[in-house]
Structure 1
């Protein structure tokens, strides 16, 4: 990376394999240079797929950089194309920060942790990685004393509340750039489609740059929404078709499912032991970390090797399961069934 002046700012340039050379605002750089964000380097984007696809080694770190870039790119296009929207440079910065921090709450092996491990470790407990992202965003600011940096660029409490709302996900009646619950068309998907296809060796058939060329904010049924030309309907159908392909060929691959089931069983077994250390010398179990940002900062995919290298007798079952993965002695499917209910969006999102 290198530094370059842009107006009164000194931005940093990151060479991203997907989006090329991207400019990053100095406040975003301050966020990136924290332990809470750097932990994303050790969180696999698509969980157990790396045990099946040799190229699926992309992490949440580069994904968040990509979402930050695309969020700013789309917001600037709308700012320039529709000045009547009164989109300010600070608005764009807030959207970029939201894109940068939207996934800092993911746990080990990403969705394996929040969608499979936590529901089994804490039955009935309502929690999702967006809740942890908000917790980690707040902790990131206080732990690294970034309050003055936010003030320096005019990002006040109201703006930080807006960022948190973006991180937590929008309400059903709103249309946002980072996460769009209304129709699922957002920059988060655009980045992981391109990034996952790159690593998996699957052709990316969706061109997000073309979509942005035709994007407009239009008032629909008393609310403003990001819309596209009717002739782009086929392009958007292709986006969701690509998502289906990724799920069938990679995310829900039978061997990926077997590996992830074994990792979950290992984590459940290990959850009986306090193995995540804190500064005060105490330790937490894996599931306790979701309420403790200090412990969560240390919780990454490295827990796989922490368990493997441990000599604690209480972790023998967890070690055995992980050693079986390394020897490719995987679970085998003995039967299947058709669920009676239609899977919800959160059951399948990545």
Structure 2
């Protein structure tokens, strides 16, 4: 869709001025490159890699978020860069990596999973996101909080609960089985239920110009058999009741959730 939009923009500009590209020191080759030049296909894997998800955009936010959140990042992007090279695979040029870096590549995908599990889709993060969606966009947070308008009272109350951490209580969480299709939270290594390593090309020391998917025997036997999981999470919305009454209801909710898990999934 974006390519069609770009073509339409160029077409309209040329209709108004045939020399519009020349005036900006551009030509049709530049137009082709913007859309995707097959001869330089590897360049499109640097920032947003649709082939396997290994790109500098991820490396940037991995380093930033792991640092600020105190989450260990075992992925070494500097080492991976040293062993990156362009190879032609099936008639197309790709960014490939040395075979001995396969475990390091897996660490990258594992880091992504860990960040989603412990931060981006953390149980408290989900609560705040849902509450925020029920109130307003982030950029008008301050305006609503400081407003005295009656029409914004409900939104103001929700935002105040977020600030004061008066959030819904987390009742429980269950990992769903393959048989049950109900789900709330998806966690994976970047390619849903697929093993992302299978979409990465590696070269060897003996054949640096020939790349192919890594062989199973070259990977650690500790790698998971499944690369995604689905979670269902239940929350109890707080009320203005006394603490003892609310605690009792919370315990009842937890008990009901355990019974539901046992009957539905056989999980705890």
- With normalisation by structure 2, the TM-score equals 0.51
CA distance in 2: counterparts of 1:328 and 1:236, whole angstroms: 38
In the aligned structure 2, how far is the partner of 1:313 from the partner of 1:346? 46
Which residue does the alignment assign to 2:80?
A: 211
Give me the whole-angstrom Cα distance separating, in 2, the residues matched to 1:165 and 1:192: 25
The answer to whether the Cα contact below 8 Å between 2:36 and 2:44 also exists between their aligned partners in 1 is no
Shift, 1:153, TM fit: 8.2
Separation in 2 of the partners of 1:313 and 1:266? 14
Query: Distance in 1 between the 2:118 and 2:163 partners?
Result: 22
Structure 2: distance between partners of 1:222 and 1:204: 35
CA offset at residue 226 of structure 1? 0.7
- In structure 2, relative to structure 1, the CA distance for the partners of 1:237 and 1:346 (3 Å cut) is closer
| Paired position in structure 2 for 1:340 | 181
8 A contact 1:218–1:227 mirrored in 2: yes
Task: Please list, as runs of the form range in 1=range in 2, the aligned pairs for 1:1-350 lying within 5 A after superposition.
Answer: 154=25, 159=30, 162-163=33-34, 176-267=45-136, 301-336=138-173, 338=176, 340=181, 343=186
From the superposition, tell whether residues 330 and 237 of structure 1 become closer, same or farther in structure 2 (CA, over 3 Å).
same
Contact residue 307 and residue 319 of structure 1 kept, 8 A:
yes
CA RMSD of aligned residues (A): 3.9
Shift of 1:176: 1.5
Aligned to 1:181, the other structure's residue is in SS state coil
**Which blocks of at least 5 consecutive residues in structure 1 are unaligned?**
1-129, 139-149, 167-172, 268-285, 287-300
Aligned residue in 2 for 1:102: none
> Are the structure 2 counterparts of residues 191 and 307 from structure 1 closer, same or farther at C-alpha, using a change threshold of 3 Å?
same
The answer (yes or no) to whether the contact 1:206–1:239 under 8 Å persists in 2 is yes
Contact 1:263 1:322 in 2 (8 A): yes
- How far apart are 1:251 and its partner, in Å? 1.6
CA distance in 1, matches of 2:126, 2:52: 27
Give TM-score, length-normalised by structure 1.
0.40
1:333 aligns to what SS in structure 2?
strand
Measure, in 2, the Cα distance between the counterparts of 1:255 and 1:217: 42
Point out where structure 2 has 5 or more consecutive residues left out of the alignment.
Answer: 10-20, 193-227, 229-268
For residue 193 of structure 1, give the secondary structure of its aligned residue in structure 2: helix
Q: CA deviation at 1:258?
A: 1.5
Instruction: Verify the 8 A CA contact 1:175 1:225 in the aligned structure 2.
Output: no
Cα distance, 1:263–1:232 mapped onto 2, change above 3 Å: same
Partner SS state of residue 302, structure 1: helix
